[in-house]
Chains A and B, each alone.
Chain A
Amino acid sequence: KQEVTQIPAALSVPEGENLVLNCSFTDSAIYNLQWFRQDPGKGLTSLLLIQSSQREQTSGRLNASLDKSSGRSTLYIAASQPGDSATYLCAVPFSGGYNKLIFGAGTRLAVHP
């Protein structure tokens, strides 16, 4: 059974810091891994989708890496800004199921000026 864990649960940093959010999953037989951003009381915004054949994906100040064999992904945020404050979720497809995502509990990030 696929389980997704995110560490840390919460993070508070000063503006300008580079930071790393961690995601681990128990079953390495995944097709891809997706990172989302969730603002308080809002929907899920897709940030990056990494296919199982890829090692990393980049979008602006965001870089996500994937190590399937160790069951880990990291989301790197460069030069953090107050506008980055949100909850970041990672999700992987359910083992043996094509259309069901398993989410982690998220990392709640606060970037203060």
Chain B
Amino acid sequence: EPEVTQTPSHQVTQMGQEVILRCVPISNHLYFYWYRQILGQKVEFLVSFYNNEISEKSEIFDDQFSVERPDGSNFTLKIRSTKLEDSAMYFCASSEKTGALYGYTFGSGTRLTVV
């Protein structure tokens, strides 16, 4: 069964450093998403991406965050200057068509630890 692949599985970074989280969505999917889950809290939406642009973003997704699809297969989330409160599990997801109608496939996540 097709999978969404995320790398690395765990990343430790110092506060103030830039990090890039990488995702390879399912090949025929057109919609891409990032979610995060702070330890002990709900999974929360960050951003959706379609046709090479952001289609929706949450209030969490401020200027410190950016997303990019640098080639035909990768989808990345960049955090420019990490803060302690960015420590969380970050999930990438993709959907063939709009996820609200067809459901989402999630990756296994990247655990980001900011020290």
Measuring CB to CB, which residues of chain A are less than 8 angstroms from any residue of chain B?
31-32, 34, 36, 41-46, 49, 89, 91, 93-94, 97-106
Contact = CB atoms under 8 A, between A and B. Distances in A.
A97 B101 contact: no
Given A41-B111, A43-B106, A98 B42 contact: no
Given A93-B99, A93-B100, A104-B42, A43 B48 contact: no
Contact of B31 (A42, A94, A97, A99): A99
Contacts of A34: 103-104
Contact of B56 (A49, A89, A99, A102): A99
A84 B108 CA distance: 18
B87 interface: no
B99 A98 contact: yes
Contacts of A98: 98-101
Contacts of A31: 100-101
B43 interface: yes
A102 B56 CA distance: 14
Interface of B: 6, 31, 33, 35, 41-45, 48, 50, 55-56, 58, 89, 91, 93, 95, 98-109, 111
A97 B56 contact: yes
Nearest to B35: A101
Nearest to B95: A99
A44 B6 CA distance: 12
A46 B42 contact: no
Given A89-B43, A104-B42, A99 B48 contact: yes
A32 B97 CA distance: 14
Residue from the set B89, B91, B103, B108 with the largest chain A CB neighbour count within 10 Å: B103
B111 to A, nearest CB: 7
A32 B103 contact: yes
A42 B10 CA distance: 11
B42 A101 contact: no
A42 B43 CA distance: 12
Contact of B44 (A45, A103, A106): A103
Given A41-B111, A43-B106, A49-B102, 6 more contacts: A32-B100, A46-B104, A46-B106, A98-B100, A99-B31, A103-B43
